[in-house]
């Protein structure tokens, strides 16, 4: 997800889905939501949330560990330009 800098603020949202069409491998879904705020020309803040759902059966057919369940992330970033 890329948030383009703007004068006051901007929001963004993304939804991704992976359809593997393989027996023994579940589909994966990811969605993100973010907000960026430019305080002045040199300082910008970004707050974003990201969630991915790996499904319940992934990688077992290949003998690997695979990813199962879901994961969440909250990110706060500060950009300073000088």
> What is the band of 6 on the pLDDT scale with cuts at 50, 70, 90?
very low
Separation of alpha carbons 36 and 46, rounded Å: 4
User: CA-CA distance, 3 to 12, in Å (whole number)?
Assistant: 7
Q: Is residue 1 part of a domain?
A: no
Considering the domain boundaries, does residue 44 fall inside one?
A: yes
The percent of residues above 70 in pLDDT, for the chain, comes to 71
In this prediction, residue 8 carries a pLDDT of 64
Question: Is 54 within the bounds of a domain?
Answer: yes
**Could you tell me how far CA 28 lies from the centroid of its own chain?**
13
The reply to whether 4 falls in a domain is: no
Residue 22 forms part of a structural domain: yes
Q: Is 66 within 8 Å of 36 (Cβ atoms)?
A: no
- The pLDDT tens digits of the residues spanning 25-51 come to 777 888 888 888 988 889 999 999 988
> What are 50's two structure tokens?
């990201």
Report the alpha-carbon distance of residue 51 to residue 21 in Å, rounded.
Answer: 22
Within a domain: 53: yes
Q: How confident is the model at residue 65 (pLDDT cuts 50, 70, 90)?
A: low
* Residue ranges making up the domain that contains 58: 9-80
**Is 3 part of any domain?**
no
Angstrom distances, CA of residue 80 to CA of 11, 42, 45, 68, 70 = 19, 6, 9, 37, 33
């Amino acid at each position: 997800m890329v948030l383009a800098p703007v004068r006051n603020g901007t929001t963004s949202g993304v939804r991704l889905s992976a359809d593997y069409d393989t027996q023994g491998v579940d589909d994966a879904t990811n969605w993100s939501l973010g907000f960026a705020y430019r305080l002045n020309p040199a300082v910008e803040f970004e707050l974003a949330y990201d969630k991915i759902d790996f499904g319940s059966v992934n990688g077992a057919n290949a003998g690997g560990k695979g990813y199962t369940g879901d994961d969440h992330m909250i990110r706060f970033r500060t950009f300073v330009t000088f």
